[in-house]
Amino acid sequence: MALPAPASAAPRTVYVSPSGTGTDCSSARPCSLTAAQAAVRSLNDTMSDDVVVQLADGVYRLSQPFRLTAEDSGSGGHTVVWQAAPSARPVITGARAVTGWSVADAARNIWKADVPADLDARQLYVDGAVATRARTQVNRADFTASGTGMRFSSGALSYLNNLADQSRIEVEGVNSFTDRYSPVQSINANFITMQQPAWSNNNFGYDTLMRPHRAGPFYLSNAYEFLDAPGEWYLDPRAGALYYIPRAGQNMSTADVELPTLQSLVHVGGTYSEPAHHITFSGITFTGTSWLGPSSNQGYVDQQTGAYLAGDWSRPGFDSCHNGCTQFEAARPHWSQMPAAVQVSAADTITFSDSRFVNLGQTAIGIGNDAGAHASGVGLGAANITVTRSEIARSSAGGILVGGVRADAHHPGDQRMVNRDITISNNRIHDLGADYRGVVSVLTTYVAGSTVARNEVYNMPYSGMSIGYGWGANDAGGSNHYANRGLYNYQPRYTTPTTASDNRLIGNYIHDVMQQMNDGGCIYTLGWNPGAQISRNHCLRTNGYFGVYFDEGSKYYKATNNVFSNTGTWATANYWGGENMGNWTVTDNWSTNGSTNVTNGDRGNVVSGNVTVTNGNWPSGAQDVMASAGPQDTTPPPTTAQQIVGVQSGRCLTVPGTVNGTPTQLQDCTGAAGQTWTYTTGKQLTVQGGKCITGVQSGLCLDANAGGTANGTRIILWSCNGGTNQQWAQR
């Protein structure tokens, strides 16, 4: 006779609050995050159900990154869940609030606040937006470069000789696909002496600082004297002084100003023999970091999508390697990766859901990156990692970077290093690359099985999404092109495939990308990727650049049933030195630009059934793709009435009348009819007998005018900027 299975024990809940103390960790006596971590470790050896760590509402300010290892993992197939309490929106931040502002220079409207001495940061977040570090745009033509720096002759620039704190100044060049920073040593007699090795490295390789493939904006930044525009800031660490010019409507007595104190926020990872595992984060906002690597004498020697060069390298004469050389190939196998704010490596079954990753000073989430990009020193080895139903936005670099770029990533000596089975789904990823523009929303490099599906991506300076890596140089048999460059003098010419396979981009809505850089597109590929699928994506508006871009070494991709609207060439291949490219299936796509150089029968390609659409006459199949692309919410709408509360003001969105065009206002929450919102079956909010907010057509955000918080404040549509006066909560 079969016996019934024993009843599962109820999940054990550990309670946390920002002001928590002690070790009770109970609902009556919540504890701190670190005390909760200790409590979990006392419970997770023999789990019979999940252990839930419930975070109360509020801001959790970290003094050091929060690190979870194998000791913090679930057991018996159960999970340790770090989640928001019901209706709470907890924030884990590496920043401190800055208050006590006063006018420092009335003529220039510069405000000042005291901060701890010796605290440095490259980012400042004001009312939820990334502020601009003080800078001035200059003309590249006014500077003549040499091996030690730059000379200028324009009298209009003579003031540079007298700038204070010259060793904190940086030169930034926004190029074709790189965005480079190089620090200044000193300025004297119209000559800017640059710090090494950043200066030499930034003028070495491809798309270099002073000989770019495309000469975009050129800036001098990080001097008090450059403060001249609303939204700019400057930090003087020695004096412990922060300066800021408010934007129109900002009140410095109420503005939310956050100055990062940490370079990263959360580290999840163990070792290959004892990985971190079965850990979930849900309903949490991660924010407030500033990566300081570019502030050193290494600068930021951007190569592409978050990879950079550091260290001292043998090179030919200055300016003789601006379009590649053998010595540069010696450095290629040693590129580094930007460490992410949230780092996951040597880990299995880790989930981030229903969370926000905003105002971060680098890549938001790094999954299975190289060892140097994880604080533990153990990289790669990420399996069964999920990021879903979350927002990644308003940050300095890219969104989610999966995989490494060095040899252990593509030809690991230990199979436990292989990154596999990664899912990125139903997220909204937007407004990234505020400081490091050569980035994408999601990049998967060397991964064995990833699914990037149903995400919405927009407002990106460079490409929308990227899949693959290596330019064909590390694939089986290598590349004659890279052999001629000299790469294989410094690394093996591999005879076996890389770990990249079975990676999929499915059903994503990618729009308004390529806004500042070039040599990219909506979807960008590199290297061999057997089993790769690019299907049912909707690409809209690429600023004249490509739809799908098969760059060097791309092979074995299948692109089907995608929509490319208002792009440049809808499908292009860069065959430069690409003898190992092709074997693509490019079928049944729709585009408004019929131009392509991808042809049937060439290099083993299958190209058929692609349709050029004119005058908006989209076939039903294309309409279905457009309607279904992007995040899919299967949760039914609430059946009870809701209130919409301004996060900044704490007051309710109120419609005081029923006539079309009635302006909305902020008012104290009383439960009146004009504050009671219900959902239609299509999840549209309605009020006052079926009246609704408009804004779908405009794409603008509901905004408390001028950051107002008082009763009667007008509610308007305004360009989305992420400010707290555009954040609304249901009650």
Q: Is the domain of 622 the same as that of 602?
A: yes
Q: Is the domain of 198 the same as that of 233?
A: yes
| Residue of 5 and 728 predicted with greater confidence | 728
pLDDT in tens, 463-498: 999 999 999 999 999 999 999 999 999 999 999 999
Q: Is the domain of 174 the same as that of 133?
A: yes
d(CA 112, CA 544): 43
Q: Is the domain of 580 the same as that of 719?
A: no
And the tokens for 672? 């009146």
Specify the range with the lowest mean pLDDT, choosing from 33-37, 618-622, 668-672.
Answer: 668-672
d(CA 382, CA 419): 5
Given a cut of 90, whether residue 659 has pLDDT beyond it is no
**What does DSSP say about strands 307-309 and 347-353: parallel, antiparallel, or unpaired?**
unpaired
pLDDT in tens, 88-120: 999 999 999 999 999 999 999 999 999 999 999
Q: Is the domain of 84 the same as that of 218?
A: no
Q: Is the domain of 384 the same as that of 499?
A: yes
The percent of residues above 70 in pLDDT, for the chain, comes to: 91
345 close to 374: Cβ distance less than 8 angstroms: yes
> What pLDDT is attached to residue 642?
74
536 close to 558: Cβ distance less than 8 angstroms: no
Residue 634 resides in a domain: no
pLDDT in tens, 493-552: 999 999 999 999 999 999 999 999 999 999 999 999 999 999 999 999 999 999 999 999
Return the CATH number at 661. Answer: 2.80.10.50
Main-chain dihedrals φ then ψ at residue 627, nearest 5 degrees: -70, -30
Of 202, 179, 95, 263, nearest to 460 by C-alpha is: 179
d(CA 574, CA 553): 9
> What pLDDT is attached to residue 696?
43
Residue 341 resides in a domain: no
Confidence at 131, pLDDT banded by 50, 70, 90: very high
Q: What angle do CA 275, 281, 284 make, to 5 degrees?
A: 145
Residue 305 resides in a domain: no
Confidence at 657, pLDDT banded by 50, 70, 90: confident
Given a cut of 50, whether residue 7 has pLDDT beyond it is no
Given a cut of 80, whether residue 678 has pLDDT beyond it is no
Output DSSP code: residue 409: H
SS3 687: strand
Q: Is the domain of 102 the same as that of 202?
A: yes
Amino acid letter, residue 203: N
Confidence at 27, pLDDT banded by 50, 70, 90: very high
Given a cut of 70, whether residue 691 has pLDDT beyond it is no
Output DSSP code: residue 176: S
Confidence at 645, pLDDT banded by 50, 70, 90: confident
- pTM above the 0.85 mark? yes
Q: Is the domain of 550 the same as that of 575?
A: yes
> What pLDDT is attached to residue 292?
99
- What mean pLDDT comes out for the span 259-281? 99
Phi-psi region of 486 (alpha: psi -120 to 50; beta: other; left: phi over 0): left
Q: Is the domain of 22 the same as that of 152?
A: no
d(CA 582, CA 63): 50
Residue 396 resides in a domain: yes
pLDDT in tens, 334-392: 999 999 999 999 999 999 999 999 999 999 999 999 999 999 999 999 999 999 999 99
Q: Is the domain of 366 the same as that of 515?
A: yes
- What mean pLDDT comes out for the span 675-696? 62
Given a cut of 70, whether residue 2 has pLDDT beyond it is no
> What pLDDT is attached to residue 646?
77
Q: Say how many CA atoms lie within 13 Å of 461 toward its Cβ.
A: 26
> What pLDDT is attached to residue 579?
78
pLDDT in tens, 348-359: 999 999 999 999
- Full residue range of the structural domain in which residue 226 is found: 96-260
Hey, which bits of 439-554 come out as E strands? 442-444, 448-453, 456-458, 465-467, 501-506, 509-511, 521-525, 528-535, 538-540, 546-550
520 close to 176: Cβ distance less than 8 angstroms: no
H helical segments located in 7-99: 33-41
Q: Which of 66, 89, 112 is the last residue of a domain?
A: 89
> What pLDDT is attached to residue 208?
98
**What does DSSP say about strands 276-282 and 80-84: parallel, antiparallel, or unpaired?**
parallel
The percent of residues above 90 in pLDDT, for the chain, comes to: 83
Residue 401 resides in a domain: yes
pLDDT in tens, 206-231: 999 999 999 999 999 999 999 999 99
Q: Which of 69, 89, 109 is the last residue of a domain?
A: 89
Amino acid letter, residue 81: V
Of 347, 396, 373, 342, nearest to 70 by C-alpha is: 347
d(CA 345, CA 368): 5
d(CA 473, CA 479): 5
Residue 65 resides in a domain: yes
Output DSSP code: residue 725: G
Q: What angle do CA 179, 184, 188 make, to 5 degrees?
A: 140
Q: For residue 136, with 0-12 CB atoms within 10 Å meaning exposed, 13-18 middle and 19 or more buried, which class applies? A: middle
Residue 547 resides in a domain: yes
Residue 274 resides in a domain: no
367 close to 335: Cβ distance less than 8 angstroms: no
Q: For residue 219, with 0-12 CB atoms within 10 Å meaning exposed, 13-18 middle and 19 or more buried, which class applies? A: middle
> What pLDDT is attached to residue 198?
99
387 close to 424: Cβ distance less than 8 angstroms: yes
221 close to 170: Cβ distance less than 8 angstroms: yes
Q: Is the domain of 67 the same as that of 195?
A: no
Given a cut of 80, whether residue 717 has pLDDT beyond it is no
Q: Is the domain of 588 the same as that of 649?
A: no
d(CA 160, CA 375): 38
- Report how many domains make up the chain: 4
Confidence at 719, pLDDT banded by 50, 70, 90: low
Confidence at 81, pLDDT banded by 50, 70, 90: very high
Q: Which of 561, 594, 628 is the last residue of a domain?
A: 628
- What mean pLDDT comes out for the span 553-573? 98
> What pLDDT is attached to residue 559?
99
